[in-house]
Amino acid sequence: MTAKYAIILAAGQGTRMKSKLYKVLHPVCGRPMVDHVLTQIEKNEMDKIVTIIGHGADKVKETLGNRTEYALQSEQLGTGHAVLQAEGILGDLDGMTLIACGDTPLFTAKTFSELFEYHKSKGAVATVLTAQAENPFGYGRIIRNEIGIVEKIVEQKDATKEEAAVKEINTGVYVFDNRELFHALHQIKNDNAQGEYYLTDVMEIFKNENKIVAAYRMKNFEESMGVNDRVALSKATKVMRQRINEGHMKNGVTIIDPDNTYIDCDVQIGSDTVIEPGVYLKGRTIVGNDCFIGANSEIVNSILDDEVTVTSSLIEEAHMQKESNIGPYSHLRPLADIGEGVHIGNFVEVKKAKIGKNTKVGHLTYVGDATLGKEINVGCGTVFINYDGINKHHTNVGDYSFIGSGSNIIAPVEVGDHSYIAAGSTITNDVEPHDMAIARGRQVNKKGYYDRYPVAKAAAETEKNEKK
């Protein structure tokens, strides 16, 4: 079996992005562009993968880790020079070498596989992946002879008027005989408009040596889209998003408005889940079966079990168990664990808290650094006060307890099972099981005091006007 290698070109800075972030690290649907390329290449069971790094080398290595080997291009002198930096790792090996750019996130493993097979079937030393472009400006052109054999690849800046009119373009992806590739790279020159060593010049060297150069034309031009600026980044993201959404719909997910639903590439969604417009599912979020994700919700790196309902809420690094629900306008912060059947109502914030089965936290409440048992009712406007200005403290509330509206629970406290906290209380001490805690000042009514205040005068004027 012929060995397969790959070289990913990821050394450029990408000045047209006008960004502090290196070009190949800009994300498309939740994953850096170069990671997309590597992921699709990996699916072809490669023997070795080498990434050429330069600008942002440490950041690229941090992103890709040990999934690839690395070669440094300390000075950017063109694509041919970049590939040559891998010679120390691949130069003396037999096999086929795929070359792809780190800023082309839309290529699929299937296309790479087809290119390998075509190259092998033609017995070629080099095969270029081509596409038909309606507007080929900026791409290298594939120049064929009268019987369709590839003669050379001409870069945009070096093309004659006739060559520039050609619509078959070079996608920047190739497969080479590995030894022949490095042999030819030592022969290329930089006498061109850019003063660079073009990888494409090896094609003419091969032709002059009467070796077979093949071209495999892919069907989908969109897949070959390179990203050089923010406009292209948005276009690539749109294509990827459409691909992701269609995949989920084919797997049984209902997406009401795919054009306005944003799902990252690593998100998993179960069948019969319904997603309304304006939803953004990010990171490694997992959504179970039969869930409902309402309009304008955002879910980040979270797990939703089956039959969960989310209504216009933000969920971050949290877990919602089966048949729980949230919203509208509520927020689960990291380490929120919402139990089975739990109701989190509107304008509720939960952080680093575990809430037990069937407990209800209806509205206008903050639960932080707490463990709540099952079947608890938390009244409106309750605040779990967890921070003393230096440290965070924890509160435990037992099963079947009732917390009245407007209560302040000042941690650390233990509230026992079947306990009752009267509305408006500020709790600073433990509450024993089956006890009721009341912590508020006694009500005093001052007779006739209303009439002493300006509000009384204003009310009198209003009443007088109403009688006219």
Spatial distance between the Cα atoms of 318 and 320, rounded to a whole number of angstroms: 7
Which pLDDT score, from 0 to 100, does residue 219 have?
87
Q: Please state, in angstroms and rounded to a whole number, the distance separating the CA atoms of residues 363 and 347.
A: 6
- The active-site residue out of 81, 119, 363, 434 is 363
Alpha-helical runs (H) found in 199-267: 201-208, 230-250
Query: Which of 54-58, 67-71, 213-217 has maximum average pLDDT?
Result: 67-71
Residue pLDDT, tens place only, 432-465 = 999 999 999 888 999 999 898 888 888 888 888 8
Residue 154 has pLDDT above 90, yes or no: no
pLDDT at 148 over 80: no
Name the band, by pLDDT with cuts 50, 70 and 90, for residue 149.
confident
Angle between helix 33-42 and 109-122 (nearest 10): 50
Express as a percent the part of the chain with pLDDT over 90.
81
Helix, strand, or coil (residue 413)? strand
pLDDT in tens, 202-261: 988 998 999 999 999 998 889 999 999 999 999 999 999 999 999 999 999 999 999 999
Residue 468 pLDDT exceeds 80: no
The pairing of strands 413-415 and 426-427 is: unpaired
Residue that has been written with the tokens 């276009």 in this structure: 235
Q: How far apart are CA 285 and CA 239, in angstroms?
A: 21
The pLDDT, as a whole number, for residue 200 is: 87
Biggest CA–CA distance in the chain, Å, is 110
Active-site residue, 119 included:
no
- Structure tokens, 17: 């992005």
- For the cut 80, the answer to whether the pLDDT of residue 193 exceeds it is no
Between 23-32, 72-81, 135-144, 399-408, the lowest mean confidence (pLDDT) is in: 135-144
Taking only Cα atoms into account, the Rg of the chain, rounded to an integer number of angstroms, comes to 32
Mean pLDDT (the chain) is 94
Question: What percent of the chain is predicted at pLDDT more than 70?
Answer: 100
Give pLDDT, residue 461.
87
Cβ distance 28 to 103 under 8 Å? no
pLDDT at 4: 98
Task: Annotate 352-375 with three-state secondary structure.
Answer: EEEECCCCEEEEEEEEEEEEECCC
Tokens, residue 440: 């508020």
Ramachandran bin of 244, using left for φ above 0, alpha for ψ from -120 to 50, beta for the remaining angles:
alpha
Predicted pLDDT at 156: 84
Environment class of 396 (CB within 10 Å of its CB; exposed 0-12, middle 13-18, buried 19+)? middle
Q: Picking from 29-38, 65-74, 220-229, 285-294, which range would have the lowest pLDDT averaged per residue? A: 220-229
Residues 7-35: what's their mean pLDDT?
94
Q: What region does 367 belong to: left with phi over 0, alpha with psi -120 to 50, or beta?
A: beta
What's the mean pLDDT in 387-393? 94
State the average pLDDT over residues 123-147: 87
For residue 328, say if its preceding peptide bond is cis, omega within 30 degrees of 0. yes
